[in-house]
Amino acid sequence: MTQTVEPGDLIQLSSPLPRQLAIVMRQQLPSLAKEVIEEIRRAIPAYGRPIKGPYVQALQIGVERALDQFVEQIASPGAPSDRYKETCRRLGRFEAQEGRTLDNLQAAFRIGAQVAWRRVMKTGPELQLSSTVMAQLAASLFAFIDELASLALEGYLDALPSEELEEHRRRLLQLLLRTPAASRRAVAELAQIAEWEVPDEVTLVAVPAGSRVVRASLDQDLLADLTGDEPHLLVPGRVNEDRLRMLAEALPEGRVVTGLSVAPVHAADSLRWARQTLPLVEQGVLSDGPVTRCEDHLITLWLLSDPAMVDQLARRHLAGVSRLNSVQRDRLLATLHTWLTTRGTAAEIAEELDVHPQTVRYRMRKLEGTLGDRLADPDARFAIEVVLRAMWLRERGAGR
């Protein structure tokens, strides 16, 4: 069992080790650091990401500096340790900013100690180290691991936001999303307590449930509720290119949707539109990349906002066509859609569909006989075009 130590107690828990031991150990550091990192990445999924990622780079730097410091303390017990201590605290702060607990980092410390001790057990007899020196080395090593954990915890706690301030901001976000809208006075009073300036416009962001969030990448002026079944963010103002990059970095594994930019009193509408759009992204109807903006897809959102209504419109305006077999129906609807959107000649429509003009003329006569006077009625034509567009979008989402 290891002892709990305070930062700065490293090595002094045991008798001084032979300083010449540091010369031999320093030769082992490059290969030992590589072995420690490989074992940690293999055992802890969070550290198994691409080696160029900030999470793994922070781990690599931490391991190298920790091992170097351990050997330096043996060579010169009074050597400065400020740089190493700040690295440990930074690792703890990084975990807090990423929105994680210290479990992974503490597990990494334990794995590092195990790998290092296996190396000691292998090389100790080769170097003819006495049992006394081996015992001292073991005590120093595990005291060192305790100090790593203590320093990381210190940095972790320093990086955690004030729980009271976070609670005020969560309450403020809930207040802004209340329906009917809360009074401006109530919002202003709570915003003052939450140390948040109420902007002229806000943009709500819908986040897929279970998304990993890199909290360190989130701008400090955002309001967030990422713990529920429908996580979301509030961005003050419009989502410009800088905000888009920020969202992509903060939510690297999730496809998020930004609602429309609205006055704070309409924040609930912005979130509702974003949430309505999120399933369309997940189904493949929309595929804009890591961040989808509602404002780029308003017609699609409107067309697919009420699928049952689209079905009713289809029954009323396309009843005759729906009775045909699937091949005839698809060909006629494709011709009808092209005619409605281009209003071209038979030759132009034939070129668009890659068929003979006579085929287009035949299909149009078939459509006129099936749909009757609807093609001559502007309102009916508009309804049919809307239905066809909605049907095409739904089939796109279904992969057809």
pLDDT in tens, 196-226: 999 999 999 999 998 888 887 889 899 999 8
The pLDDT, as a whole number, for residue 1 is: 32
> What is the per-residue pLDDT for 138?
86
The residue whose two tokens read 């017609």 is 299
- In this predicted structure, the answer to whether residue 229 has a pLDDT above a threshold of 70 is yes
**Does position 49 have pLDDT exceeding 70, yes or no?**
no
Is the alpha carbon torsion for 241, 254, 105, 54 positive or negative?
A: negative
Mean pLDDT of the region 72-99: 80
pLDDT of residue 9: 41
DSSP single-letter state for residue 182: P
Q: Encoding tokens for residue 251?
A: 């939510």
> What pLDDT is stored for residue 25 in this prediction?
84
Domain ranges across the chain = 20-159, 201-303, 307-397
d(CA 349, CA 364): 11
Count of CB atoms within 10 A of residue 179's CB? 9
Note whether 254 and 138 are within 8 A (CB).
no
> For the domain bounded by 307-397, which CATH number is listed?
1.10.10.2840
Please report the beta strands in the chain, taking only residues with DSSP state E, as ranges in sequence order. Answer: 202-206, 223-225, 232-236, 256-262, 291-293
Architecture of the structural domain at 20-159: Orthogonal Bundle (1.10)
User: How confident is the model at residue 54, as a pLDDT?
Assistant: 63
pLDDT value of residue 210: 86
pLDDT above 50 (res 95) = yes
User: Per-residue confidence at 51, pLDDT binned at 50, 70, 90?
Assistant: low
- At residue 139 the predicted structure's pLDDT band, cuts being 50, 70 and 90, is confident
Amino acid at position 227, single letter: T
pLDDT at 254: 76
Among 81-95, 105-119, 226-240, 273-287, the minimum mean pLDDT is found in 81-95
Burial (Cβ within 10 Å: 0-12, 13-18, ≥19) of residue 379: exposed
201-303 has which fold? Alpha-Beta Plaits (3.30.70)
Q: What is the pLDDT of residue 317?
A: 82
Is the pLDDT reported for residue 69 higher than 90? no
Amino acid found at 59: L
Q: Does 289 have pLDDT greater than 70?
A: yes
